[in-house]
Amino acid sequence: MKKQQEQYARQMLAQLSDPQQREEQLDQSLLMMRSMYPGMARALGLTREEHARFLELLAQQQLQDQEGGARCMLDPQCQSQSQYQNWGNANSPEMKALLGTERLQRFENYKSSLNERHAVTQFRNRLAESNRMDNETSEKLILALARERESIQREISGSGAGVNSFGLGGVTVISPVDNRPVEQKVEAARQYSQRLRDSAAAYLDAEQLRAFGEMQEETLQELPNLLRHQEGAKFSAVSTVVAPAPRPD
């Protein structure tokens, strides 16, 4: 495994040392940033030019991280790849110069709510044309869901349990990771989902709230199977097959 990793690291450094291949890698990274951060310009209040410059900066940082990680892999003195990681680092001088303090904080909030942004995008796509949600309300809904989700996760972690997040159809359902039976975990997930729905209710009319609840219910119906599959996979991972001892002739 280590030899394979080192071989990959050498290939990566060889590609990045070639100007044309490095430019191709940068273009790929830029495309990934556009896909990874939808609606970022609106959320951060960026002009078209600022948005383009920021995406390029993120792509450059990611490429530098990959290069640094490859060098660390080949350096016996390197203790951790984290010393090379700069991608999306809000403390970088380039990001501070481009965004300023307020928009840097907005970017941190934006990153922490990416799951909710995806969920709200899917939700808006399901709404009828006559019941569309405007961008300002959508942003408020995203932040409200993110705050409540973070609160739920803190509570679960504070109780000593782990946190499961399942996303189907754009909605994330949260359940605890502990020794409770599947049925109890599903019931806990329903209670957490109700809290998210209550948070959403402040920004949705009756028809929108009904559609939001339908999305949650679709995921909750799949949750028992997902949890059982997860527990089965965990059991398989820790199980050991012992071959029977040979019988004497």
Tens digits of residue pLDDT in 66-111: 888 888 888 888 866 555 555 556 568 888 999 999 999 999 889 8
Question: Is the same domain home to 13 and 72?
Answer: yes
Domain of residue 195 covers: 115-236
d(CA 212, CA 220): 13
d(CA 43, CA 139): 8
45-48: long-range pairs with CB below 8 Å, 24+: 45/103, 45/106, 46/103
pTM: 0.73
CA dihedral (205, 211, 213, 214) in degrees, to 10, reads: 170
Question: Is the same domain home to 124 and 106?
Answer: no
User: Could you tell me what percent of the chain has a pLDDT over 90?
Assistant: 48
Question: Is the same domain home to 103 and 134?
Answer: no
Residue 245 lies in a domain: no
Question: Is the same domain home to 101 and 120?
Answer: no
Question: Is the same domain home to 49 and 130?
Answer: no
Q: For residue 242, what pLDDT is reported? A: 37
Q: What is the mean pLDDT of residues 164-192?
A: 86
